[in-house]
Amino acid sequence: MKNQKIPRATARRLPIYYRYLKLLLDEGTTRISSVDLAEIVKIDAATIRRDFSCFGALGKRGYGYEVSELINFFSGELNQDTLASVALIGLGNLGHALLNFKFQKTSNVRISAVFEVNPELINTIQNGVPVFSMDELEEQIAEQRIDVAMLTVPADAAQSIAARLEDSGIKGILNFTPLRLDVSKQIHVQNVDLTNELQTLLYFIDNDISN
């Protein structure tokens, strides 16, 4: 299924399914229907069935889905057997919070290198991860075969660093800055604007807009 084109929205939901299915198996659930899974993940059953149908017959009508089989399938789709190395660019408050987050406990992701301009942090080990100078960015990304970077730098530095990341061969950027990056279509960018998300939530509350 690796070469099959699936909808972007479906791809975004795969990690959600995978995470909850693992929790279900840990709790002893071996079989589940799309209706019951919908109640847990808060995604309607029709969408779940449509998402799963993108990958062929994963379940049986009237029987449901074998949880362990779904986990094994989505594990392969999400490359859970392959450890993904990620670079963290910027070690301010948000950078420290991301570094403290135990990605590897819940996914196949690990932060393997941090890049900073603060001389007091450069050449130190933070939470078991080495901190390099920004001058070493291209060299270390190539040497460690890093494909993804998390960007937590000031907005006025984001575009120039994104350009360097693209030139270094980075394939994806998780962008925590408010700036929308100008990169080629070959680079996948996920924008995470915490302020915008909070303002949106407050707007929904103030205007009584339901989910």
Q: How far apart (Å, rounded) are the C-alpha atoms in residues 103 and 141?
A: 19
94 annotated ligand-binding residue: yes
Structural tokens at position 81: 């057997």
Q: Is 3 within any annotated ligand binding site?
A: no
| 93 assigned to a ligand binding site | yes
Determine contact, residues 43/103, Cβ cutoff 8 Å. no
Cα dihedral 67, 73, 75, 76, rounded to 10, equals 170
| Closest residue by Cα to residue 160 from 188, 181, 131, 141 | 181
Q: How far is CA 77 from CA 38, 45, 83, 91, 193, in A?
A: 21, 21, 14, 31, 27
Distance between CA atoms of 165 and 89, rounded to whole angstroms? 10
Q: Where are the beta strands (DSSP E) in the chain?
A: 31-32, 65-66, 84-89, 109-116, 125-126, 129-133, 148-151, 172-175, 188-191
- 56 labelled ligand-binding: no
Question: What distance in Å separates the CA atoms of residue 165 and residue 148, rounded to the nearest whole number?
Answer: 9
> CA-to-CA distance for 113 and 92, rounded, in angstroms?
15
Binding-site residue positions for NAD(+): 90-95
Binding-site residue positions: 90-95
